[in-house]
Amino acid sequence: MMATLKRMKAWNLPTHLILILVCTVMIYPIVWWLGASLKTNAEMSLPGIFPSDPQWSNYVKGWTAIPDYTFSRFFANSFIIELFSVTGSVVSASLVAFGFARVNFRYSKLWFALLMLTMMIPSQVIVIPQYVMFSDLNWINTYLPIIVPHFFGGGGFFVFLLVQFIRSIPRELDESAKIDGCTTFGIYFRIIMPLVKPALVTVAIYSFLWTWDDFFQQLLYINSVEKFTVGLALRLFMDSQSTVEWGQMLSMSLLSIIPSVIVFFLAQKQFIEGIATTGLKG
């Protein structure tokens, strides 16, 4: 027994050392980022991660650096988009996935195959047609081009993820619910949705992260500064100053990742379960 424990410890030591090394390499850029956010422009080129005199005022000054606006406005705009985008993705993707996984209708396999093919179309191909369509609808300089598509399935990846999860749930549960008088929508809402909670959390997290990091669409459709998101505000930060205060900009960019980190850590258990068990239950 003791010999076995010694062998396990001997094997775990190099493994732990490798993990520590990998974690250090991954965390270093964030540590440097934090240190740089506390520096002045003159200290940026000096050696060392942290300055001798940390400039915590960079966070205060950076918050109000853009004329007539503060980052409170930009964070609020981003959260408005996130609220509707995440809600739309979760609701519409779950409904579409339930239809493909549980409802028998004509040409269902063909439609599902076409939906999967949309995942292979480069997003650059549809930029111009989408812009022309939204322009004809007078949606330019609004959040609608960013939000509304989330209410139409949320994307092929989300539907595929949920379909695989729902198919792993025994159909006997549906039949039992029908015997008890449950409607099709009742089966979706009362039976299927509680069982696919990990997958729904996964969809919500992906939708949040992808929308929060989506700089291109926001740049394409939003023109007014008062409607800018955090990503656009960081870009405006460079244009609004004759000499860019890098410490202030880095401090605001560091704050911009905090919502994503909080969302992930609050839901990491369900997220990991949703990824690990998709298509494997049953």
The predicted model gives 215-219 an average pLDDT of 92
**What is the number of helices (H) and of strands (E) in the chain?**
16, 0
Task: Look at residue 3 in the predicted model and tell me its pLDDT.
Answer: 53
Q: What is the pLDDT of residues 61-116, one digit of tens each?
A: 999 888 888 999 999 999 999 999 999 999 999 999 999 998 888 888 999 999 98
Where do the domains of the chain lie, and which CATH numbers do they carry?
2-60 (no CATH), 68-277 (1.10.3720.10)
pLDDT at 262 over 80: yes
* Strand ranges for 16-107 from DSSP E: none
9 burial (CB, 10 Å; 0-12 / 13-18 / 19+) is exposed
Task: Look at residue 278 in the predicted model and tell me its pLDDT.
Answer: 52
221: CB partners within 8 A, 6+ apart: 131, 134, 139, 140, 141, 142, 145, 146
Q: What is the pLDDT of residues 161-215, one digit of tens each?
A: 999 889 888 888 888 888 888 888 889 988 899 888 888 988 999 999 999 999 9
Please work out, in degrees rounded to the nearest 5, the angle formed at the alpha carbon of residue 90 by the alpha carbons of 176 and 232: 175
* Strand ranges for 66-204 from DSSP E: none
